[in-house]
Structure 1
Amino acid sequence: MLLQENLINKFKGKCERDIRISACMMYGSFTKGEGDQYSDIEFYIFLKDKQVHDFKSSDWLMDVEPYDLLFFNEFGTEVVVFSNLIRGEFHFLSESDMDIIKSFKDTGVFPDTESMFIYDSTGKLKGYLDFLKGDGPERKTNDNVNFAFNNLVNAWLMGVNILKRGEYARALESLSYVQKYVLQLIRIRENNVERWLNATKNLEYDLSEEAYAEYVSITSKLDEEELYRTYSNALHVVEGLVLVLADYYQFDINLKFLKKLHLQLTNWS
């Protein structure tokens, strides 16, 4: 049994024994059949409304498994690094907030909602999880394609301008946004959009060999010459995406506009 699976069982048992807990659900890799020895464990734990203010998550987590680090990340998620270096994400909410589960429908596909069910004393959790079943949101839309192209151009032009200024570290940071939107467009072209919000996940297996090579061509180390070459490569990849996607989607940019962007790199050799 994986260490993560052992922890999952421990938290399930803790929720079942603790009268303050109304319900618990899991999300992430282990609910999608993708969990392995490198995966996190991730939970939503719903408390009885009267217990929320006096509940100390730090004590509750330590009672299940020793940890070395506990903090809130930039998204407001409580992150714990257990002493065995397994990473966990926890959301402790009141029972009256359980309808937040419905908002997950817009984030992707949930192929096995039964595996998300951990514990419930309210009789409500299964209904909320059933709501998540079926197809996820439509990603292959004109709006999504146009949004990705426009934000790609914005990140590309900003990156090139600060690259010319000599801010190489910042240009590398901007390149990450170029990569994000290029990859979303590649996934649309490849008809592989299940991981739209986390587009690099499982990339080595999701994309064709040719598409993966395109992505590799727009990665760079912190080096002036390589950054210029990578930004140039990005434009060529974008041109190819425009040529293919224009037959299926409506968007603002075109090849004539991209030629103007190429001029921004004419002094680089």
Structure 2
Amino acid sequence: MTPHLPRHQHLDRLIREAARNDPRITHALAYGSFTQGAADGFSDLEYFVYLPGPARLDVRAWVEAALHGSPFVVRHFFVNDFGTPNFVLNGLLRLELHAEAPARLADVAGWPAAHADPARMLVKDTDGRLAAALRRLSTRGQPDPVAEAQGVLDRLLGWLAFGANVLARGERIRAHELLAWVQGGLLRLARLEDGQTGHWVNPSRLAEWELGGAVLERYARTTGPLGDLERHYAEAWAWTAELAARLGLHVPPELARDLSPEPRR
């Protein structure tokens, strides 16, 4: 269950009430950690509203009207890198609001199903289509980390090769950026080995609490200053090879030789 979060709960009530009272909005839902019972005082709130002509909805004005007369003040508004309006309220409480056309309702059934709670997600549904999509979402199979592990490793190897080439070219900042993708793959495989796959989709979430000290220490050896990138990539490759062996996953032998920190041939 979500802990007692009075500010989050107050904001959630305001957004839900505004969506239900707006005749333009045909469907609305909440999603994310707050609906999953996993939020804390640092979590954000996230919503989708559906209406004909969503581009004509002034999302900023809509949210400000919903917050009028409340303790909440918009400190900052921006559209994130994925085109979604975002708000930072007083106290750094964050709010994300997507506006979509009802034709996109079917997409909901294809969202990641882990931790989905349709009863807590549903805000408004004028014709039953959203409830039906949420029911389909709830009946989808949960992620199967064992079945997905080889694919995770394959992508991880690709990121290692990409990063190694960029680093060899001398683009250290870019190589540092790519290391984040490597680390994400490593965390997934480490979670699988550690039996901590509850946050398989977002493997860094609560990693400090869910993963053992040895895993965290190993992870720390894959990150650090730009000047140590060669060492970080070598550590990442060594950990990748060890995890693959312990999990019974396949690494092409020729690729393993090429990824070793020895001089290229």
Q: Is this a same-fold pair by TM over 0.5? A: yes
Question: How far apart are the structure 2 equivalents of 1:174 and 1:24?
Answer: 36
Q: Which residue of 2 aligns with 1:57?
A: 59
Question: Amino acid of the residue matched to residue 144 of structure 2?
Answer: E
5 Å-filtered alignment, 1:63-74, equals: 63-65=65-67, 66-74=73-81
- Quickly say closer, same or farther: Cα 1:59–1:257, change in 2 above 3 A: closer
Structure 2 unaligned segments of length 5 or more: list them: 68-72
Identity %: 25
Q: How many residues align structurally?
A: 254
Structure 1: give runs of 5+ residues left out of the alignment. Answer: none
Contact 2:234 2:261 in 1 (8 A): no
Seen in structure 2, the aligned counterparts of structure 1 residues 227 and 46 have a Cα distance that, compared at 3 Å, is same
Q: Deviations over 1:145-201 (max 9, x none)?
A: 333323323322333344344433222122212212222222232333342332211
Going from structure 1 to structure 2, the CA distance change for 1:165 and 1:111 (only over 3 Å counts) comes to closer
Pick the aligned partner of 1:163 from 163, 167, 171: 167
Partner SS state of residue 212, structure 1: helix
Q: 1:199 aligns with which of 187, 199, 203?
A: 203
Shift, 1:36, TM fit: 1.5
CA gap of 1:23–1:89, structure 2 versus 1, over 3 A, is: same
**Post-superposition CA distance 1:73-93 (Å, at most 9, x none):** 222222122344321111112
| SS in structure 2 at match of 1:90 | strand
- The TM-score, its normalising length taken from structure 2, stands at 0.84
Q: Matches of 1:216 and 1:85 in 2, distance apart? A: 28
From 253, 258, 261, give the equivalent of 2:259. Answer: 261
The alpha-carbon distance between structure 1 residues 243 and 125, as it changes in their structure 2 partners (threshold 3 A), is same
Question: Does the Cα contact within 8 Å between 1:101 and 1:129 map onto a contact in 2?
Answer: yes
**What's the counterpart of residue 140 of structure 1?**
146
Task: Say if 1:79 and 1:90, in contact at 8 Å, map to a contact too.
Answer: yes
* 2:123 pairs with 1:121: no
Q: What TM-score do the two structures reach when normalised by structure 1?
A: 0.83
Separation (CA, whole Å) in 2 of partners of 1:183 and 1:3: 32
1:89 matched to which residue of 2?
96
Given the superposition, is the C-alpha separation of residues 45 and 67 from structure 1 closer, same or farther in structure 2, using an over 3 Å criterion? same
Contact 2:176/2:229, CA 8 A, preserved across alignment: yes
Contact 1:108–1:195 at 8 Å: present in 2 too? no
CA, structure 1 residues 76+103, in 2 after alignment: closer, same or farther (shift >3 Å)? Answer: farther
On the 8 A contact 2:113/2:138 being kept in 1, the answer is no
Report if aligned partners of 2:19, 2:25 keep a CA contact under 8 Å in 1: yes
Change (3 A) 1:265 1:231: farther
Gap change, CA 1:2 and 1:120, over 3 Å in 2: same
